[in-house]
Amino acid sequence: MIKRLGAEFIGTFWLVLGGCGSAVLAANFGGDGNPLGIGLLGVSLAFGLTVLTGAYALGHVSGGHFNPAVSFGLWAGGRFQAKDLLPYILAQTIGAIFAAWILFQVASGRAGFAIDANAAGAFATNGFDAFSPGGYGMLAALLCEVVLTAMFLVVILGATHKNAAPGFAPIAIGLGLTLIHLISIPVTNTSVNPARSTGVALMVGGTPLSQLWLFWVAPIVGGLLGGVVYKWLGRD
């Protein structure tokens, strides 16, 4: 169990450092219109690549959840034991917080760096209403996070099914997360992962932290829904 939790810590650390790091350090590098800035497409791909590489590197150790909503969804889908939920979620959340702290230390190394806690998506945080990148309200954010997390679990459970093509699951899962970000960055700055949301929100505080409840509730509800639906479809 210690090694499994270590893998979940490292994998979630990598997801937040790579995904949120790309948003904070590289999305607008050099200013708007600069060809070196990776933008929405690059950030979406970065999140997908962290999961793809992390799953290949660590999936054989812990299952490669790296996300409390995924752990809940795998439990609902009959692939994970309830007794392991709390330890996994703690390891994931601590890994995300540590990654956000490292990212803050790196970002602070640039002269003039400051976090505007009143700006939508500040330091890769998630939000709704005025803290949604596209100005989407709470109900839209809630629906988006629930549905996309549910579909993420369908992809995960399907790609890792015993009858699926072996060895390709991390690719499908990574590309699935990329697609989710392409859809929902304008809506919530994309969570589908409570640990990822918690790490950066703690670095910013203020409204992003007070809105964090939605990015625990919605992904977990979505994960449970996706797990139940795929258990019925996949007949595991």
Other beta carbons within 10 Å of 27: 19
Per DSSP, 165 falls in state P
Alpha helices in 2-111 (DSSP H): 2-15, 21, 39-62, 68-76, 85-107
Flag whether pLDDT at 235 surpasses 70: no
Which class would CATH give 2-234? mainly alpha
pLDDT of 140-152, one tens digit each? 999 999 999 999 9
Could you tell me the pTM of the whole model? 0.94
Residue ranges per structural domain of the chain: 2-234
* CA–CA dist 185, 203 (Å, integer): 20
| 2 burial level (CB within 10 Å; 0-12, 13-18, 19+) | exposed
195-234 confidence digits (pLDDT tens): 999 999 999 999 999 999 999 999 999 999 999 999 999 7
In this predicted structure, what is the pLDDT of residue 145?
98
DSSP per residue, 105-174: HHHTTSTT----TTSTTGGG---SGGGSTT---HHHHHHHHHHHHHHHHHHHHHHTSTTSPTT-HHHHHH
Q: Above 90 in pLDDT, residue 32?
A: no
- Indicate the average pLDDT of the chain: 95
Task: Give the three-class secondary structure for 72.
Answer: helix
pLDDT tens-digit series, residues 78-107: 999 999 999 999 999 999 999 999 999 999
Q: What is the pLDDT of residue 116?
A: 92
Average pLDDT over residues 126-136: 97
